[in-house]
Structure 1
Amino acid sequence: MATPDFVLELRRHVGHAPLWMPGTTVVVMRSARADAPIDWESPIDPGSVEILCVRRSDNGAWTPVTGIVDPGEEPALAAAREAKEETDVDIDVRRLLSVEVVGPVTYDNGDVTTYLDVAFAAQWLTGHPRPADGENSEASFFRGDQLPPMNERFRRTIAKALSGQPRADFLAR
């Protein structure tokens, strides 16, 4: 599902006017070796894990799984839901990585949105990634030291996921 129904309903009333939306990003990881589980309490060697990435259908960019948090939905549950909807994998959300403002983003149709993005690190549980809902043209695991090109925000979020630091990042002043 590309645009949630509640956003389409809002847009019926506000047109292209700026919207403030809750969003989520989730860095889904699995061990590159079945006999070596991820130690979530320590820095993670990028070569020891695989990270789930998707190629967006709209612009061809590679990203971690992202999405909009539904009204009343907990952000971590939204992250797990988005992973299932977009890639058909089940995950266990493990750690809050960051909270940040993203945007404003102006879409091709003129809609303007600014997101409050809540990012998480998650453990892959089951499923073979595939572009499950049309938002993405590809979904695949990549070794953490062989990721496809992506923007600075996503590289920073993945680095935070690999850092092992339990404290979430946020701008305080």
Structure 2
Amino acid sequence: MATPDFIREIRASAGHQLLFLPGVSVVVFDDEGRVLLGRRVDSGEWSIIGGIPEPGEQPAETAVREVYEETAVRCVVERVVLVDALRPVTYPNGDRCQFMDICLKCRAVGGEARVNDDESLEVGWFPVDALPGLDEFALFRIKQAMTDEPTWFAPMTEQ
């Protein structure tokens, strides 16, 4: 995912220290029950769509914007799937981040899936029983989005 300008501005004074940032991941289904995936430029791996909210932007707005920016698919948000503080990551340049991921389930309402920016190598619709190799992050979110369970929260750590 491209680093938003406001994060670059923070990094100019914060250096590589750990930043706790919001993130939105999106599981988009079409009318046939297929899942929209993108093959990421940074890793070459297939995954669900996601990104960082702009300042003042609501998570649902982020989901709709990111899906369109990356895939040219229009979608509507149906529900919150999960909220999860992810493990901290260190990027090759030394920047450290920890994301609070809000995963949303969306339904496609228009557009044709195609690469629509420089963050994806490919995009496409996949039947849930024929997904390409996905990491646990994406698989868990797809699984949770397919259920009628309430929003999933990570177990609380003992204090």
- The answer, yes or no, to whether TM exceeds 0.5 is yes
1:62 aligns with 2:46: yes
1:129 maps to: 113
Distance 2:39 2:92 in 1: 18
2:78 maps to: 94
SS in 1 for 2:88: strand
Query: How well do the aligned residues superpose, as a CA RMSD in angstroms?
Result: 1.2
Distance 2:36 2:125 in 1: 4
1:24 maps to: 24
Pairwise CA distance, 1:62: 1.0
Pairwise CA distance, 1:171: 2.4
Pairwise CA distance, 1:136: 1.0
Pairwise CA distance, 1:12: 0.8
Pairwise CA distance, 1:163: 1.1
Aligned length in residues: 156
1:145 maps to: 129
TM score, norm. by length of structure 2: 0.94
Q: Which runs of 5+ in 1 are unaligned?
A: 33-48
1:104 maps to: 88
1:168 aligns with 2:151: yes
Task: Name the aligned partner's letter for residue 67 of structure 2.
Answer: A
1:45 maps to: none
Task: Name the aligned partner's letter for residue 68 of structure 2.
Answer: K
1:43 maps to: none
SS in 1 for 2:30: strand
Distance 1:31 1:102 in 2: 31
Pairwise CA distance, 1:14: 1.0
2:61 maps to: 77
Task: Name the aligned partner's letter for residue 154 of structure 1.
Answer: A
Q: Percent identity?
A: 38
Q: List structure 1 segments (4+ residues) > 3 angstroms apart after TM superposition.
A: none
Pairwise CA distance, 1:76: 1.0
2:100 maps to: 116
2:7 maps to: 7
Pairwise CA distance, 1:172: 4.7
SS in 1 for 2:28: strand
After superposition, the C-alpha distances for 1:20-79 in whole angstroms (9 at most, x for unaligned) are 1100001000122xxxxxxxxxxxxxxxx1100001101111111010011111111111
Distance 2:12 2:114 in 1: 32
Distance 2:93 2:115 in 1: 24
Q: Which runs of 5+ in 2 are unaligned?
A: none
After superposition, the C-alpha distances for 1:87-137 in whole angstroms (9 at most, x for unaligned) are 111100001000001121111111111000000110001111122110111
TM score, norm. by length of structure 1: 0.87
1:51 aligns with 2:35: yes
SS in 1 for 2:70: helix
SS in 1 for 2:146: helix
